[in-house]
Amino acid sequence: MKKTLQKSIFVLRVRFVNKFISYCRKSWLQLCGMKIGKSTGIPKMQYTWPHQVAIGDNCRLEHNIYFHYDGIWKQGPSIIIGNNAFVGFGCEFNITKKITIGNDCLIASGCKFIDHNHGTAQGSLMREQKSTEDAIVIGNNVWLGVNVTVLKGITIGDGAVVAAGAVVTKSIAANEIWAGIPAKKIGER
């Protein structure tokens, strides 16, 4: 009896309560300007400007993703995720210019995308210097392992794989496998 009650509560929570809460979040964020595709559920997450985010159809997002558009209000979107993408727990999109993620991508937990950098010239405080920025482009069917960091101006080609913990400082061609800090090519698919 106790086991049946526990299973029933679990099913009720997962199938109905979580879906209802996700529906309410999705409706609110769409009202705020976020573009969210069909069959994409919205978990608990953080964001600065909802209208700067566009998420495609059939995407699976895990909790605690941070969509941080680092700038003043402007027309969006600047954070674009294609169809059938997976974005894991605790990913951070820290974007000033733009990031585009293609269809069918797998973005594991803890990945970070940063498309800008602080100035480092001598003679003035780094925090007061104008930052440099350049868009990030992730192709289709790309797999980024846990805790990958992708820096400004990077293009990752279709079908590429980046190993867990890598820091991507150079663009990656299609179907290549990269790993390390800084990331280097270690093979091909």
Bridge partners for 144 per DSSP: 107, 162
Please indicate whether residue 63 is annotated as part of the active site.
Answer: no
Residue 26, CA distances (Å) to 1, 63, 107, 115, 123 in order: 36, 14, 21, 26, 47
Q: Which residues, in sequence order, are CB contacts of 74 under 8 Å at separation 6+?
A: none
Catalytic residue among 51, 68, 116, 118: 118
d(CA 113, CA 135): 10
Q: Which residues, in sequence order, are CB contacts of 156 under 8 Å at separation 6+?
A: 137, 138, 139, 142, 144, 150, 162, 168, 171, 172
Q: State the catalytic residues.
A: 118
